[in-house]
Structure 1
Amino acid sequence: MRIASVVLILWLIAGAFAAGQRNYYTGPVDNCNQVATIAVTILAGPLNYLGMNPKIACQTPQPSK
Structure 2
Amino acid sequence: MKEAVAAGDQALVGGTSQLQFRDIRPKAASEITDVDDASLLLRHTKADITERVYRRVGGLAKPTK
Q: TM-score, normalised by structure 2?
A: 0.30
Larger Cα-atom Rg: 2
For CA contacts below 8 A with separation 6 or more, give which structure has more relative contact order. Answer: 1
Structure-1-length-normalised TM-score: 0.30
